[in-house]
């Protein structure tokens, strides 16, 4: 169990702070739900994923350690010692939604708008408002990532999942 902390910054904004809330497999689902119910507008989803994220199952080097990745867990090879998270942000959003029962919009705001507000950069980040940085993720109804735009430019596209090209506005 990892306790939640209520954090109030110098601007008197209150946020619920949980250590890598949805990425921790050992984190109790009831705690995530309770924290979200206590202050849904302050829920902030982040990931503390280590560089082994996205490399699939097997052994990888993490600094001086060999880490074994299996079943979405990273442990020091030959032990049960957790080496870190391998959960990407989209996995964290899905877990948060599953743990809390919140809507898709609430989960996405917790991963975009709420962190931007907490950092006081919500005029540029976490929003689709005019004048914002145009950092956009294209998702499907299952919250699977299909494309990523940074400053309005296509930065990544899931070729296997897309039936539409975002670069020339024509069907594939």
CB neighbour class for 140 (10 Å; exposed up to 12, middle 13-18, buried from 19): exposed
- Torsion angle (degrees, nearest 10) of CA 47, 121, 143, 130: -160
Kindly name the residue from 48, 90, 135, 140 that is annotated as catalytic: 48
CB neighbour class for 171 (10 Å; exposed up to 12, middle 13-18, buried from 19): exposed
CA-to-CA distance for 160 and 167, rounded, in angstroms? 16
The 10 Å Cβ neighbour count of residue 101 is 11
Q: Is 77 marked active-site?
A: no
Beta bridge partners, 73, equal 70
On whether the CB atoms of residues 172 and 162 are closer than 8 A, the answer is: yes
Catalytic residue annotation: 48
């Amino acid at each position: 169990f990892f306790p939640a902390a209520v954090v109030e910054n110098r601007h008197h904004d209150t946020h619920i702070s949980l250590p890598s809330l949805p990425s921790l497999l050992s984190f109790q689902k009831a705690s995530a739900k309770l924290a979200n119910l206590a202050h849904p507008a302050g829920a902030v989803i982040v990931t503390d994923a280590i560089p082994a994220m996205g490399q699939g199952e097997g052994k990888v080097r993490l600094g001086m350690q060999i880490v074994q990745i299996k079943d979405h867990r990273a442990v020091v090879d030959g032990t049960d010692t957790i080496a870190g998270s391998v959960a990407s942000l989209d996995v964290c959003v899905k877990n948060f939604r599953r743990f809390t029962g919140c809507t898709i919009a609430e989960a996405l705001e917790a991963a975009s708008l709420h962190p931007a507000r907490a950092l006081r950069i919500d005029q540029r980040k976490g929003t689709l408002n005019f004048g914002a940085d145009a950092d956009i993720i294209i998702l499907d109804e299952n919250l699977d990532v299909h494309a990523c735009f940074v400053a309005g430019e296509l930065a990544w596209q899931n070729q296997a999942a897309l039936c539409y090209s975002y670069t020339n506005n024509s069907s594939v």
